Structure 1
Amino acid sequence: MNRWMLLAAVIVAPLPALAQDAREPGRPPQRVRNVQLVGDEKCPPAVGDEIVVCGRIDPGEVYRIPEEFRERPANPANTAWAVRAEQMMQDNRAGLPDSCSPVGTGGQTGCNAQFMDNWRAQQRDQRRRDNLVP
């Protein structure tokens, strides 16, 4: 009986020492795992020298696009120069001839052209739909 206890003590004694060696003070963990839990799932246990960070999310938002990946308003500092120049030209067209704008002296002249372009597009679309009917 004493031999078995001695054998068990010899086998179990190095285990805490090995675990302590794996986590030296001042050394970061080898792996950090982020897990998102839904409903009443349980946080998985850490294996070896790892840290498990668990966060619970609402079951209705499982398929929602995370906040950091959703579209945000364009940041002018991250916009190409050509896009900024084009936007500036479009913004400054208000009130110029052929702009169809209620502002300025020549803004109304472009409205008729815009209405005609829309009418032509509607006619083309109607002809395309008519051709689909057997």
Structure 2
Amino acid sequence: MISSLLFAALMASPAPAQVRGPQDEPPKRVRSILLYGDEQCPKTEDPDEIVVCANAGESPYRIPKRFRNQPKEDAGSNAWTNRVEAVEQFNRAGLPNSCSPVGTGGQTGCTRAAIRQWYQERLDAKAKAARAATP
């Protein structure tokens, strides 16, 4: 029983440090370099130096391709007038002159919209005829 406790205590204790020779020392300098485009990794001149190179893409000032030209679809990217018109159109349903199938006054708006469209088309035709008649 005592021998098993002694064995467990020895296994839990840290191992003694190893003595390193001069060839086992870590390098004195480590350089980390990001490469862009077709750049080449520089060679080391000092044996106590390590150069670590990583390819970082096309340019340090360019947005990566996966993030370019993404359309924004959040509320902040819409114009304020478009948001107001959408809210008004939604709230207009069912009111008189709204031309919606919901509510009792929705049918009157469809007739008014058709009359407005007809009148605008008539004005456009008259303006076109007047331009054609003018030499």
- Provide TM-score, normalisation by structure 2: 0.46
Q: Computing the radius of gyration over CA atoms, which structure comes out larger, 1 or 2?
A: 2
TM-score, normalised with respect to structure 1: 0.46
